[in-house]
Copies of this chain bind each other. A is one copy, B any other.
C-alpha cells in the first residue's frame, strides 16, 4: 500500500488506508439512501467474475452490485471448464481476461492468487477470496455493518468466534479492526486458534499483542459465557488495543477486568463456521467438535448481551442457531445484503467513476511496513497452497523483512512466514545463523539469505566463527 495514492487493486484490506475504508463506507451509505441514483454509474463497463473456486454468495453479491450500477458482467465459475484445465497458468488466464473486461473480481483456492492476478492484469483486480489468505470485501461489509450499528469504527469491542485458523474472512477483519483500535476477544474452537502468521502480523505490522486470559476472569469480565458452559475454556485470548492509552494503563492484572465490566460498551459477536473445505476437520476430535462455539437464544440471553449484535459471514452450518433469526440483535442477513452497496461503492471508486475523499491517505501511524526483499534465489515460501508454490514460474520470490520482535521474512503473496536459517553480508566470505542478523544498521536488502546451507556453501561461503562472542548480537537491538 502506497501511503499517498489511491489503490488500483484490492488484494488485502491493507490496500486501503483507514480514510479510504471510510470513503468506501460513506459512499455505500449514500448508495443505501438512494440506490437508483447510482444506476448508470458503471455504464459501458464490464466486470469479469473469475470464480475459480466454488462460490455463489460473493459472486452473486458482486454481480448484483455491478448490475445495480448499470454495468455488465461476464462470468466464469468452474475451474474444470476453464482453460486452466488445459494447462494454462493463472498469469495467462488473468492476462487474457483483463483484455475482456474493465475490472476483474477473482476468487481462487491458492493463497496470494489475487496478488499474482493484480501483477499480470491490465485492469483493476478485486480479491474475492484467495485460499486461506484474505477476503477484503467481506471485511468492508463487516465494517459497514458495525458502523451502521455503532455509528463509528473507532474502538469497537468484538468477540470473534469459531474457526479462526482457516477463515480468511477473520484474518482480513482482524487487521482492519486493529487499525481502527478495536478490542477483540478471540473465542476459537479448540485446534482452530488464530494462526501464528496472523498473530505475528499483528505484532510486527500493527504493534499489537494478544494476551491470554483466564477463562474464569473472562467470564467475570463479560458476565456470561460466549458459548455453552463446557466451552468456556475455549475463550483463550484477549486482544487489548494500546491505541487507547487510558485503557492500556489500566491493564495491570485484575484491576482492568473490573473496569471493563463497568464501561458498558457493547460487545459485537462475530460467528464463523468450521472451514471444512480448508482442512478444518474436527470430526475425529469429537470433544472439540462438540465444543465448537455455538450461539443461540440461550447463550445470548444474558443482560450483558443486550446491546450486542450477532454477525456471521455466512453460510452457517450449525454454529448459529435459527432460533436467533428473528432476534433484533441478529444482523447477519442485514450484513449479507450490505455487501451490495459496499461493493457498488468499491467498484465505483476503484474504476474512478466516483472520487475518493479528500482526507489524508496515510496509513495508520502505528503500521510498520517492513522492508521488501525482492528476487532472492535462496529462500522460498513453504506454504503448500501459496501461489509461489503452485505457479513458481510467474510469481516473484519476494519477501518482506521484519527485524522486530524477531527476524521474520513474510512471503509477499500469502503473507505467511518463512525463516531462512542463514545469511551472508554483501561481499563477505562467511555466512551466519539467521538469529545473528540483528544489527540495526545492517541492510537486509543487500544481504543474502539461505534456507539451505548448501546454497551458501555452493557460493564458496564459509561458516562464521561467532561462538566466542560474549553476548549475542540480539541484545544490541533496541526497540
Interface string of A76-99 (1 = CB under 8 A from B): 111011111111100111011101
Interface string of A48-76 (1 = CB under 8 A from B): 10000011110111011001101011111
Q: Which of A44, A46, A315 lies at the interface centre, i.e. has the most chain B CB atoms within 10 A of its CB?
A: A315
The contact of A67 among B39, B74, B80, B87, by CB within 8 Å, is B74
Instruction: State whether A100 touches B60 (Cβ < 8 A).
Output: yes
Q: Does A354 contact B (CB under 8 A)?
A: no
Within 8 A of B (CB), among A97-128: 97, 99-101
Closest to A51 in B: B81
Instruction: State whether A273 touches B87 (Cβ < 8 A).
Output: yes
Instruction: State whether A82 touches B61 (Cβ < 8 A).
Output: no
Give CA–CA (A56, B104) in the complex, Å: 14
Instruction: State whether B96 touches A83 (Cβ < 8 A).
Output: no
Interface string of A263-274 (1 = CB under 8 A from B): 000000000010
Instruction: State whether A95 touches B333 (Cβ < 8 A).
Output: yes
Within 8 A of B (CB), among A17-38: 36
Contacts of A59 in B (CB 8 A): 76
The contact of A60 among B39, B68, B96, by CB within 8 Å, is B96
Instruction: State whether A81 touches B54 (Cβ < 8 A).
Output: yes
Contacts of A277 in B (CB 8 A): 86
**A46-B64, A67-B46 known; A315-B86 Cβ under 8 A:** yes
> Chain copies in the assembly?
3
Closest to A39 in B: B44
The contact of A81 among B46, B55, B82, by CB within 8 Å, is B55
A residues contacting the other copy or chain, number (CB 8 A):
58
Q: Does A406 contact B (CB under 8 A)?
A: no
Q: Give chain B nearest CB distance to A121 CB in angstroms.
A: 12
Instruction: State whether A82 touches B97 (Cβ < 8 A).
Output: no
Instruction: State whether A54 touches B85 (Cβ < 8 A).
Output: yes
Give CA–CA (A101, B84) in the complex, Å: 29
Q: Does A223 contact B (CB under 8 A)?
A: no
Q: Give chain B nearest CB distance to A72 CB in angstroms.
A: 4
Instruction: State whether A64 touches B54 (Cβ < 8 A).
Output: no
Give CA–CA (A44, B317) in the complex, Å: 34
Q: Does A355 contact B (CB under 8 A)?
A: no
Q: Does A4 contact B (CB under 8 A)?
A: no
Residues of A within 8 A of B (CB): 36, 39, 44, 46, 48, 54-57, 59-61, 63-64, 67-68, 70, 72-78, 80-88, 91-93, 95-97, 99-101, 273, 276-277, 314-318, 322, 333, 336-337, 339-340, 393-394
7 closest Cβ pairs, A-B complex:
A99-B337, A88-B315, A64-B100, A67-B72, A54-B81, A87-B317, A83-B315
13 CB < 8 A contacts A-B: A44-B68, A48-B64, A56-B82, A57-B96, A60-B96, A64-B101, A78-B81, A86-B276, A92-B315, A92-B316, A93-B315, A95-B333, A99-B333
